[in-house]
């Protein structure tokens, strides 16, 4: 082979390597949800509130558990604009419609999974009594229901997760009184002070990031903020409000999809328990969704806990854990 031919092959081969290294994954996938098909989901709600006066034994307990099934039928599926129309039925036959439901993964990741601050709400405060910062509030800003159907571009989904779980992201800036310097709180620092945490079953951030491979379809979170997160309460002896650690505060979040983009399982749960002076308060709030109906829920429901369709038509769109938590905590 002549030098000219060898040189030409070398150039071609180098070009192929360069092009191959610069290619981004293409949006090639197979949807798991189809036009005209029915998809049944089970949804449940659990709320528990306990308030006790330890000085006299008086207590008040409110507990509610309810659930229902909903059947989605895809009546329009537009692959160009990535929207679909749904007709959905409750067990009593009540029919509703949901038009222009967007299943575009790019839109999903451009906000919710754009960065740490979009996904989490992390609030630190300055504690003048100890001249230090304290964690005051935490929540996952998932905003009610997850998407029941999503475009299965999983490499984009996991790229978004890597943006969310960035240890160097500044999640809060605390103003220090009588100081010209503010304190910047990073997501990495937040994780360091927790009692424990796991992200996709890994208890270190670096190991968790390794789980976000191009074909991963799950996000599993557990945060134990016990004795780390604080409430701001009035101390009658001191005559002023103080920051008090909350003895138990755990948040669990699980989001699982099928390879084709159908929501398989979702749960958002938090549990809180704290004592202050003569008061003891316990709160549990949980929202669970499972593909396949009520029988697929991890928390079984009996017939008496199945709530009528008309009572939940608003809940499916509006449910928010954060607002409920803030309302109850502020009343402690």
Determine the pLDDT at residue 22: 37
pLDDT bucket at 159, cuts 50 / 70 / 90: very high
> Which residue ranges make up each domain of the chain?
38-329
Distance of CA 301 to the CA centre of its chain: 23
d(CA 325, CA 140): 12
Determine the pLDDT at residue 157: 94
pLDDT bucket at 35, cuts 50 / 70 / 90: very high
Determine the pLDDT at residue 307: 52
Size (the chain), residues: 332
pLDDT bucket at 311, cuts 50 / 70 / 90: very low
pTM: 0.82
pLDDT (tens digit per residue) in 235-244:
777 767 889 9
Would you say residue 19 has pLDDT above 90?
Answer: no
pLDDT bucket at 15, cuts 50 / 70 / 90: very low
Most confident of 36-40, 64-68, 297-301: 36-40
Would you say residue 115 has pLDDT above 60?
Answer: yes
pLDDT (tens digit per residue) in 160-170:
999 999 999 99
Residue tagged 């905590």 (tokens): 329
Would you say residue 317 has pLDDT above 90?
Answer: no
Would you say residue 60 has pLDDT above 70?
Answer: yes
Which residues, other chains included, contact 1 with Cβ-Cβ below 8 Å and sequence gap of 6+?
Answer: none
Determine the pLDDT at residue 134: 96
In terms of C-beta distances under 8 Å and separation of at least 24 residues, what long-range contacts does 172-177 make, across chains too? 172/122, 172/123, 172/124, 174/124, 174/125, 174/126, 174/133, 175/126, 176/126, 177/126, 177/128
């Amino acid at each position: 082979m002549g030098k000219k031919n060898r040189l030409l092959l070398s150039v071609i081969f180098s070009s192929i390597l360069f092009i191959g290294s610069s290619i981004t994954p293409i949006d090639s996938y197979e949807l798991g949800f189809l036009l005209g098909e029915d998809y049944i989901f089970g949804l449940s709600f659990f709320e528990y509130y306990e308030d006790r006066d330890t000085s006299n034994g008086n207590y008040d307990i409110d507990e509610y558990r309810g659930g229902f099934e909903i059947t989605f039928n895809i009546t329009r599926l537009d692959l160009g604009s990535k929207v679909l129309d749904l007709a959905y039925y409750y067990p009593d036959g009540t029919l509703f419609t949901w038009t222009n439901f967007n299943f575009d993964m790019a839109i999903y990741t451009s906000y919710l999974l754009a960065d740490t601050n979009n996904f989490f709400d992390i609030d630190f405060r300055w504690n003048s009594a100890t001249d230090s910062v304290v964690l005051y509030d935490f929540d996952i800003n998932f905003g009610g229901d997850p998407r029941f159907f999503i475009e299965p571009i999983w490499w984009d989904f996991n790229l978004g997760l890597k943006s969310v779980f960035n240890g160097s992201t500044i999640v809060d800036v605390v103003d220090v009184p009588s100081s010209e310097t503010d304190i910047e709180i990073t997501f990495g620092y937040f994780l360091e002070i927790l009692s424990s945490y796991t992200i996709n079953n890994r208890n270190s951030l670096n190991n968790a990031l390794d789980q976000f491979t191009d074909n991963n379809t799950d996000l599993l979170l557990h945060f134990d903020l016990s004795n780390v997160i604080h409430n701001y309460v009035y101390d009658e002896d001191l005559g002023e409000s103080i920051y008090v650690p909350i003895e138990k505060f755990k948040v669990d979040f699980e989001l699982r999809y099928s390879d084709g983009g159908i929501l398989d399982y979702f749960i958002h749960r938090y549990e809180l328990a704290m004592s202050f002076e003569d008061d003891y308060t316990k709160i549990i709030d949980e929202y669970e969704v499972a593909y396949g109906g009520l029988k697929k829920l991890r928390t079984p429901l009996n017939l008496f806990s199945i709530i009528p369709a008309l009572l939940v038509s608003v809940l499916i769109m509006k449910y928010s854990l954060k607002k409920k938590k803030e309302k109850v905590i502020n009343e402690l």
